[in-house]
Amino acid sequence: MSHADTDLKIVSIVRYVDACDPADRHRDCPHSVQRDGVFTCHEECRDLLTSLLRRGRTPAMSNPHAFDARQIRLSETEPTPNVLWHTSSLLQVVVKVARTNPLGEHDGINLRRYVDATSALGALGCRGLDPEGLIRRGVAETVKLAIAGWLEISELTDESRRDTALLDRWRTFFAESAEKPASPGDYIEAALFGRCAERLNAWLQTAPVEDLLRWRPPEEWPESPPSASAGSETELWTWLVERYTETYLSEWSLDSLKREYTFLKGTWRPGLPTEILDGRILAIEEVATELAERAVAEGDSIDPATMTSLINQAAALLETGQRKAAAALMDGARRLKPSDLVLQQNHAFCFLPDHPGRARAVFKEVLAKETPRPQVTLCNLALAEFLLGDAPAALQACDQAFRAVAQKRTLAYLWVRNADGWEIEQTSMPRWITRLGAEIEASQGAPHGPWTARLAESDITGQGGSSASPSSEGTGEGDP
């Protein structure tokens, strides 16, 4: 087949894939085939897409450390999801859609979100993945948490985009389904446990996919529990989604880690296309280590996958300046696991610039309890002390934070202030600490102190980072 013929066929396939309803393939597509009553792409199409549409992509990553979901997503050059995109990028779009409010600027449907969702699901369907399985099971927990978070925000703040009719229908559902009256702070727990969660699960398994994408509740809620196989299928699809959207094993759910371990041992085969399974290769030793560490910490903290979903929602709010809304969301999440230290400091991070005194108390408390990644907590503590005017305590926290990162170019989301105000930024912690230390020295009339000298040295050696300042007049907030 000549390149011209090949490209013509590619265009034909892309045309149908981009237009496909994810729940039902086009029956008039010359390259479709019916399997088990469902139209899907023919084998030759998948082979063609594998060998030709993905020209120029790197092969499957054999180095367990090479996979980076964020970098893969950033590498996409086309603005709209399509069959040329990496599987990881397509799944990231599906996850983002699942946790994003479906309403647009004037409470109408967010068409960009809907187009991205159907395009990504269509492209994934072309690779042999079931779009319905992805929505109904792969991102089911994310959808539930997103709806609950939306209600939390709408109840506790006036900063959330509102559609009164849609909000009222969801409030009515939670009020009628929860074992106890649903009130601000209770929606997240109700969505995950008890009768309310069961009815949401039934809705996710039976509602039209379009209703799930648009968060459109039914006129009458289904009461029948999911089928006996639903739990196993949910674990399969959740594992697939986390495998390609979460770079670090520490952010996977426990069930997904167990699935990965049995898959690597060869005692379980997921029945998915080989191309999908070979797209990421993990070391069984790393999975076993994470499982062992998770067993020690089990019961002390919220499931990492749930935590990731909540943090992503809060981060999206913070990026648009909705600090109060983000704090409200994390406050509701804290009720799931009051002893979870990460949840506590993420909540404090949201209101750090607005209420540095309250935030400082939380940071000191979690540091006394050996919180994970204390270097991040120390950075936030240093900023809180500075905003409160305690320069000596702020410099001491800077010293402790700098020693904790051990001069590594460790990245973290931290607060910075620029001309437009406070915003969160993924930045080098050593660089951020150095800038804050130099700013503290300048505020104390010591422009030639050790932090200022270190900052000048880093500028000379080219190890600079953001030009924004970690602190300034006024207050701000941070990212979970």
Cα–Cα distance between 111 and 454 in angstroms, integer? 49
Q: Which two tokens stand for residue 308?
A: 């990731």
Give the DSSP letter of residue 21. Answer: B
Q: Which residues pair with 32 in a beta bridge?
A: 41
Residues 92 and 137 in one domain: yes
10-residue averages of pLDDT along the chain (480 residues): 46 47 47 62 53 42 68 89 93 92 70 90 92 92 89 67 75 80 72 87 90 89 62 86 91 90 90 88 88 66 73 82 83 77 90 93 91 89 95 94 75 85 87 93 85 79 50 40
d(CA 22, CA 120): 9
Question: Do 393 and 359 belong to one domain?
Answer: yes
479, part of any domain? no
**pTM, two decimal places:** 0.65
Nearest to 9 by CA among 59, 67, 50, 48: 48
Domain boundary among 316, 335, 354: 335
Which token pair is 261? 């371990």
Q: What is the CATH number of the domain that holds 371?
A: 1.25.40.10
Write down which residue in 335, 357, 382 finishes a domain: 335
| 195 and 238 belong to one structural domain | yes
Produce one character per residue of 80-114: b if its CB has 16 or more CB atoms within 10 Å, e if not: ebbbbbbbbbbbbbbbbbbbbbbbeeeeeebeebb
Same domain, 353 and 433: yes
> Where does a domain end: 335, 360, 388?
335
Contact 197, 144 (CB under 8 A): yes
Q: Are residues 84 and 179 in the same domain?
A: yes
- Beta-carbon contacts of residue 172 (< 8 Å; ≥ 6 apart): none
- Phi, psi angles (nearest 5°) of residue 80: -110, 135
Residue 62: what pLDDT? Answer: 46
What is the residue range of 189's domain? 62-117+127-335
> Based on the structure, what is the number of domains in the chain?
3
Predicted local distance difference test score (pLDDT) of residue 6: 46
Question: Please, what's the b/e burial string for 7-16 (b: 16 or more CB within 10 A of its CB; e: otherwise)?
Answer: eebbeebbeb
Return d(Cα 86, Cα 74) in angstroms, integer.
11
User: Same structural domain for residues 6 and 72?
Assistant: no
Q: Is 412 helix (H, G, I), strand (E, B) or coil?
A: strand
